[in-house]
Structure 1
Amino acid sequence: MNTSLTRSIGFWLLLVVSLATTAVGGWLISGQIGTMTTTLLDGTATGVEVYVGQSLVVVGAGVLAAGIVGILLTLGLVAARSLVPAPAPAPAVVEAIDWTAEPEEKATPVETASTTVEGSVGATHDAEPAAAADAEPADAEPSDTEAESEETTPAVTR
């Protein structure tokens, strides 16, 4: 069986329900035929056991047939899935290694951590002054991008 088919909930549901239906249909048929046979041979059969028993055997046969069809569908799915080829895995892209290049120097974890800690400590205590220093004063001239956007945006008059 293919792994995608065996991981499918629908496949397993079809198989389990088909097996259960087959078992219930077989149980209905065998129970009713056994009861009818025993009572008819003993001479103690009543109309209910004979006539209702025949109807229950017909219902059991329908349930049994539905279960068998489900099992055959499950086997058909397995056979059809085995005929479909599995998709080929995508090729992995591997970069060429330049053996002549100099290795890059990496920052040690201690340097990175100390820089980060110092920057974050200063930022937490001086959050307002840092924010005020980053903000533009109200009388400052607009930057190039702001000037361009003002020129391209038409003025709205009321």
Structure 2
Amino acid sequence: MPYLLLVLLSLAAIGVGGWLSTRQIGAMTSALLDGTATGVEVYAGQSWVVLGAVVLGAGVVGLLLALALAAAKALVPQSPPEVVEAIDRSAEQEAPAADEADDAEVDDERPMAVDSPDEPVGAASAR
């Protein structure tokens, strides 16, 4: 998914940068040839052309990076997936029942009253 996103965004950047640059170059050229060019058209147009070229260049770099990633992935050997046997869960379902029985036996062996550290020894049995 990230690889596909890199390719798509790179193509979009190439398209937007190319459109921005060619539109401004066309507008500047026609205004200069007609003799109606103003400072705003010429100087602002140059800034837009530079911005479009930067976006276009970023798209080309992204596309080259995607190509390099694809080539690197093709060079890395892929190991075949391992076949794993199915796990028998029936033995695991029977085991907790035996553990619960052991816990019940341990609970029966615990003393009912416990002396607290503040009371003298044997005070719990006098209650």
The normalised TM-score by structure 2 is 0.68
- Which residue of the partner structure matches residue 43 of structure 2? 51
- Which residue of the partner structure matches residue 12 of structure 1? 4
1:73 maps to 2:31 = no
TM-aligned CA deviation for residue 87 of structure 1: 2.0
- Alpha-carbon distance between aligned partners in 2 of 1:70 and 1:150, rounded to the nearest angstrom: 71
Which of the two has higher C-alpha Rg? 1
More helix by share: 2
Identity between Structure 1 and Structure 2 (%): 54
| SS state at 2:36 partner | coil
Greater than 6 Å deviation, 4+ residue runs: none
- Alpha-carbon distance between aligned partners in 1 of 2:56 and 2:79, rounded to the nearest angstrom: 37
Task: Count how many residue pairs are aligned between Structure 1 and Structure 2.
Answer: 98
| Unaligned runs of at least 5 residues, structure 1 | 1-8, 94-144
Q: 1:154 to 1:82 in 2, by over 3 A?
A: same
1:150 maps to 2:124 = no
Could you tell me which of 23, 30, 39 is aligned with 1:38?
A: 30
TM-aligned CA deviation for residue 53 of structure 1: 0.3
Greater mean deviation of Cα atoms: 82-91 or 30-39: 82-91
- Alpha-carbon distance between aligned partners in 1 of 2:83 and 2:66, rounded to the nearest angstrom: 33
- Alpha-carbon distance between aligned partners in 1 of 2:31 and 2:52, rounded to the nearest angstrom: 19
Q: 1:147 to 1:88 in 2, by over 3 A?
A: closer
Q: CA RMSD in A?
A: 2.0
TM-aligned CA deviation for residue 11 of structure 1: 1.0
| SS state at 1:89 partner | coil
| Unaligned runs of at least 5 residues, structure 2 | 86-102, 116-123
- Which residue of the partner structure matches residue 124 of structure 1? none
